[in-house]
Amino acid sequence: MGVELSTLAFAFGLTLFAGLATGIGGLIAVMKRNPGPQFIAGALGLSAGVMLYVSMMELLPAGVESLGEEMGERPANWLAVGAFFAGILLIAVIDRLVPEDVNPHGTEGASGKGGRGPEPAMMKTGVMTAVAIGIHNFPEGFATFISGLEDLTIALPVALAIAIHNIPEGIAVAVPIREATEDRRKAVRWATLSGLAEPAGALVGFLLFLPLMGPLTLGLVFPLVAGIMVFISLDELLPAAIATGKNHAAIYGLVLGMAIMALSLLLFI
């Protein structure tokens, strides 16, 4: 599949934008000493709502449509559903490899609760969280890049969903590093750098999968990515939001995230 340079640049630009949103989380972490539980619950709920809506209303149907160009409607639906659950399995395995105490979606890590600990331990927590986020973000970068190559109406909501999702992750990285070093700039730098796994995922996608790109590949990738995003929302974002104790804020954030995505998709149609 021939791809114009401008299309490649656009896809990489979207991926970079989504990844570097972790820097926004870093800025929030250093500007506000301890983001409160209501803010954390709302932000995580918003992220989950955005990701769930995009996954079920855009990515999965887009996968079925692409597969339908290569095969009949019935096999296309079966294959898309299989790819969807394969995505869930993939991110579940990745998630199991991340130590629970440094999982970037944990409530304590995101909110900065627990006070100042010994500096080496706090610094290690921040660095390990950055590494964990990199592991999570790598397939997300691939997803954003592939979406950017294929369809603007899919790419922009996916990039926005992942960018919003990355803001709490940036907070999770920056808070312990800020507590350990008392250096706000260093905290923001680490948070920002943790998001570079997304353009790295795009680069791998470009090198390995671009020659194979076509309706069949896209039809498999879109539901695979939908499964990844649904798992992250249900297994990590919503439980972490509810664990703050601000259940209503989490649900209001969830509904608001869905509404934002619904409105943005309607505007792009």
Alpha carbons within 13 A on the beta-carbon side of 117: 15
The response to whether 137 counts as a known ligand-binding position is yes
The response to whether 69 counts as a known ligand-binding position is no
The response to whether 179 counts as a known ligand-binding position is no
Helix (H, G, I), strand (E, B) or coil at 10: helix
DSSP 91-150: HHHHHHHS-GGG-TT-HHHHHTTT----HHHHHHHHHHHHHHHHHHHHHHHHHHHHHHHH
The response to whether 70 counts as a known ligand-binding position is no
Q: Who's near 45: CB < 8 A, 6+ residues apart?
A: 237, 238, 241, 249, 250, 251, 252, 253, 254, 256, 257
What's the CA gap between 29 and 33, in Å, rounded?
6
The response to whether 169 counts as a known ligand-binding position is yes
Q: Who's near 6: CB < 8 A, 6+ residues apart?
A: none
Taking Cα atoms as reference points, which of 91, 84, 162, 177 lies closest to residue 126? 177
Q: Which residues are annotated as a binding site for Fe(2+)?
A: 137, 140, 166, 169, 198
Q: Which residues are annotated as a binding site for Zn(2+)?
A: 140, 165, 169
